[in-house]
Amino acid sequence: MRKLLISLGLLLLLLVSIPAFLLASGTTDSSTLRMLFNSMMGIAGPAANSDIVRQQYNVPDGFTLELYDANLPRARFLLFTPSGDLLVSRPHSGDILLLGRDADGDGKPDARATLIEGLERPLGMDISGGWLYIAESNRVSRIRFDSDTGTVDGALETVVKGLTDNGNHWSKTIRIGQDQKLYLAQGSTCNICEEEDSRRATLMRFQLDGSQPEIIATGLRNSVGFDWAPWNGALYATENGRDLLGDDLPPCELNQIEAGNFYGWPYFYGDNIADPDMGDDPLAKDRDPTAPAHNFRAHNAPLGMTFLDPNTLPPPYERAALVALHGSWNRSSPDGYKVVSLHWGTDGIEERDFLTGFNRDGTISGRPVDVAQGPDGAIYISDDYAGAIYRVRYSATDNNNAAAFELPTVNRLDAQPPEWLETANMVTMADQGNELYQRYQCRSCHEEGENPKGLENLRERLGYAAVIDVLAAPPSPMPLFPLTESEQRELAVFLLWQPPESSANEQ
């Protein structure tokens, strides 16, 4: 009954919260309304598929994007276990899923299981001392977790109880710091107001058993993601700015969290600009607002963030974090809907696009939520709109920096031609294989630089089956490209097939 009342309340909120400028602009088409219902109630959008990911989405040069899992409705936050499995929280489904690590290298999780269900809108998760900690909307709980077997044991134990989850921003995010304390972020009940519960719109800290609660930062309207910079231990948190001040105000924020600081909401926004709807801060004598470390564009809705381990990444990512921008729901022109990288330098923080393409002329195909870097060094991104997880991997294309690798040198010719060759249109397949060769920049490793890798005399060493095997399970550091079975065959034909001399002369 409680969940039904919450759903009805959210539906009413949606119906009264669609801004008048959206209606006046005529942008409330089916795509926009679908995205609005996703924002308010978690209703899924169109499903992702490999063709959309490959053709529409973009990542920086040197990175490869794959669709890791396409059947995860309402997937939100991500957490890797010590054994390399991936946990996925789904608040609107009340469960946490476990995706088995990709041990066979096929670009997909090896298994999927519901780890725990019947939770009250779970979001944040962390693991410490054999416990899985879960941030539900009304409490923080924990349960015994065996990373080796990927199983839980016993009953949930409440660590922090009595949290309020009324109002707009009911989700809770937790992380365990290097100080072995539990950090909890919880958003405001409203767009702009004074809170009755002093714990809302704050960042708190506890002992791991939930004792010794303390509020360490206030004035944080909705800080869904936070993480510590590995080079100096500084704590940063994303923040969603308030609504209903127009398309371009106020900015969303990245704040550097320091104990005891006030970060402005509801009396200030952005670079400490007084909010026109609140008047003077009644506690102005006792506190000054802290300006953001970085401003995102208005209504971009930054959610999950993670600082990157640079060991498997190029030099520009040495001091960098990725932030998922969930995207606007109340803007006349949709904005956000991407993952950006933040780069710390001598001149401050620079924001760059990392994963884009979810917004095509106002048609939204995905809404990134969280970012996690796996033990394999790859970057995993959840999308609660498409119900998907994407994997982004880096492979150096500069031959001087890439680790040496060679295709197999032994003879692995086909014992007999594969059956599919009998009906194949070799000219067409070779052309399509050439397009794939160019699309994935194979030339940069196999033909260019001081030490091109491994394509000379290929027909004398490998047959179609062997080439397809290499494409399906490439030797490091050759990237695993998201090729279908047909595309693997087309690329193999391009590499191995030699047109008859007469045909070659005619061309």
Number of domains in the chain: 2
- Give the list of residues 6+ apart from residue 337 with CB closer than 8 angstroms, or none: 325, 326, 327, 358, 359, 364, 366, 367, 368
What 8-state DSSP symbol labels residue 252? E
Tell me which H or E stretch contains 459: helix 458-461
Residue with tokens 């409705």: 73
Final residue before a domain boundary, out of 130, 163, 196: 163
Q: Is residue 459, in this structure, part of any structural domain at all?
A: yes
Does residue 425 fall inside a structural domain? yes
User: With contact defined as beta carbons under 8 Å apart, do 200 and 187 qualify?
Assistant: yes
* Unique residue bearing structure tokens 């909010």: 275
- How far apart CA 91 and CA 87 sit, in angstroms, is 13
pLDDT (tens place) for every residue of the chain, 507 residues total: 444 444 444 444 444 445 444 444 444 555 666 666 666 666 677 888 888 898 899 999 999 999 999 999 999 999 999 999 999 999 999 999 999 999 888 889 999 999 999 999 999 999 999 999 999 999 999 999 999 999 999 999 999 999 999 999 999 999 999 999 999 999 999 999 999 999 999 999 999 999 999 999 999 999 999 999 999 999 999 999 999 999 999 999 999 999 999 999 999 999 999 999 999 999 999 999 999 999 999 999 999 999 999 988 999 999 999 999 999 988 889 999 999 999 999 999 999 999 999 999 889 999 999 999 999 899 999 999 999 999 999 986 433 333 333 444 445 687 788 888 889 899 999 999 899 888 887 877 777 655 566 677 788 878 888 888 888 776 645 666 778 889 999 998 999 888 876 444 444
Tell me which amino acid residue 241 is: G
Distance from chain centroid for Cα 306: 9
Would you say residue 109 lies in a domain?
yes
- Whether residue 406 lies inside any domain: the answer is no
pLDDT tens digits for 264-294?
999 999 999 999 999 999 999 999 999 999 9
Structural domain of 474: 419-506
The encoded tokens of residue 213 equal 């609660």
Strand order in the sheet with 112-116: 78-80, 86-90, 95-99, 112-116
Let me know if residue 185 belongs to a domain. Answer: no
d(CA 147, CA 130): 8
Instruction: Specify the CATH number for the domain of residue 447.
Output: 1.10.760
In a domain, 138, yes or no: yes
Of 145, 163, 181, which residue is a domain's last?
163
177 falls within a domain: no
163, 192, 219 — which closes off a domain?
Answer: 163
Domain membership flag for residue 479: yes
